[in-house]
């Protein structure tokens, strides 16, 4: 079975690359397990001080592989090996192409974001009769202006990187094909500093930011329960798999 994750080590920085482009880097069991193993490596190796998560030249990630039916949760990292991970080291998302649904939620789980100028960011779940389940419903309004987060969630339409940059979510905008290089440059700036100080500072900020996560997961679970009991949910998933427009009833 071909490996779905490739890694490169650049000094104290580990680059983790999703390589399932034929499926738009959608996360299935194998990809989740391989991501989890590399995030464990980043966490556990004292000589690694920062990480970069990226995809392939055409796509960062389209999120969950619907055919996995939720089978992409790992012991240490939760969904996709990352979403519920208690991390100590800075992780930078380097986005080329699309970061949609769970793909954007992967970026929201990182600490910093570098994106190519032509990349697109979105949460299209409502167009499929589902809801964002990997923290997008609370990390989105935390990382973005609330009304922009609402727009992403409620319209399901993606936004351009420039708008996300102006809103403060994207840290660095690069030319197409240069996101990983831009993320490595940013990681290098971090690694010029005391790793102990960086870890302590990051832990303080992330602990404060995550103070309401328990409530966030609770309300996300309630939204998911409501939607999965609906006819719209079944229709949305079926329409997506059949590549046709959904016929909503609102029930």
185 is catalytic: no
Choice among 21, 79, 105, 178 that is catalytic: 105
What residues contact 33, with CB distance under 8 A and at least 6 apart?
Answer: 74, 81
Choice among 79, 125, 151, 185 that is catalytic: 125
DSSP count for the chain of H helices, then E strands:
9, 12
Strand stretches in the chain, DSSP E: 5-10, 13-18, 50-54, 59-61, 73-74, 78-79, 91-95, 98-100, 112-116, 120-122, 159-160, 172-174
Other C-beta atoms closer than 10 Å to the C-beta of 7 total 16
Give the Cα-Cα-Cα angle 135, 140, 144 (nearest 5 degrees).
160
Q: Return d(Cα 91, Cα 15) in angstroms, integer.
A: 10
Task: Classify residue 177 as left (phi > 0), alpha (psi -120 to 50) or beta.
Answer: left
Give the phi and the psi of residue 46 in degrees, each rounded to 5.
-65, -15
> 224: burial class by Cβ within 10 Å (0-12, 13-18, 19+)?
middle
105 is catalytic: yes
Answer for the pair 109, 85: CB distance below 8 angstroms, yes or no. yes
* Residues acting as catalytic residues: 105, 125
């Amino acid at each position: 079975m071909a490996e779905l994750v490739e890694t490169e080590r650049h000094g104290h920085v580990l680059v983790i690359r999703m390589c399932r482009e034929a499926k738009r880097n959608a996360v299935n069991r194998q990809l989740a397990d391989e991501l989890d193993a590399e995030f464990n490596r980043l966490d556990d190796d004292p000589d690694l001080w920062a990480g970069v998560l990226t995809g392939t030249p055409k796509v960062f990630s389209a999120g969950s592989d619907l055919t996995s039916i939720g089978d992409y949760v790992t012991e240490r990292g939760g969904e996709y090996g990352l979403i519920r991970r208690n991390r100590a080291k800075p992780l930078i998302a380097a986005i080329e192409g699309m970061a949609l649904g769970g793909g954007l939620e992967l970026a929201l789980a990182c600490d910093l974001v570098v994106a190519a100028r032509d990349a697109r960011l979105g949460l299209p779940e409502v167009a499929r009769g589902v809801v964002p389940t990997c923290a997008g419903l609370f990390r989105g309004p935390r990382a973005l202006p609330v009304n922009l987060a609402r727009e992403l969630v409620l319209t399901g339409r993606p936004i351009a990187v420039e708008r996300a940059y102006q809103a403060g979510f994207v840290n660095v905008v690069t030319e197409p094909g240069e996101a990983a290089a831009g993320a490595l440059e940013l990681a290098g700036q971090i690694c010029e500093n005391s790793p102990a100080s960086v870890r302590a500072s990051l832990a303080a900020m992330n602990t404060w930011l995550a103070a309401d996560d328990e409530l966030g997961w609770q309300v996300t679970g309630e939204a998911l329960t409501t939607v999965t009991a609906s006819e719209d949910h079944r229709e949305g998933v079926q329409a997506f798999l059949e590549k046709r427009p959904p016929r909503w009833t609102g029930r």
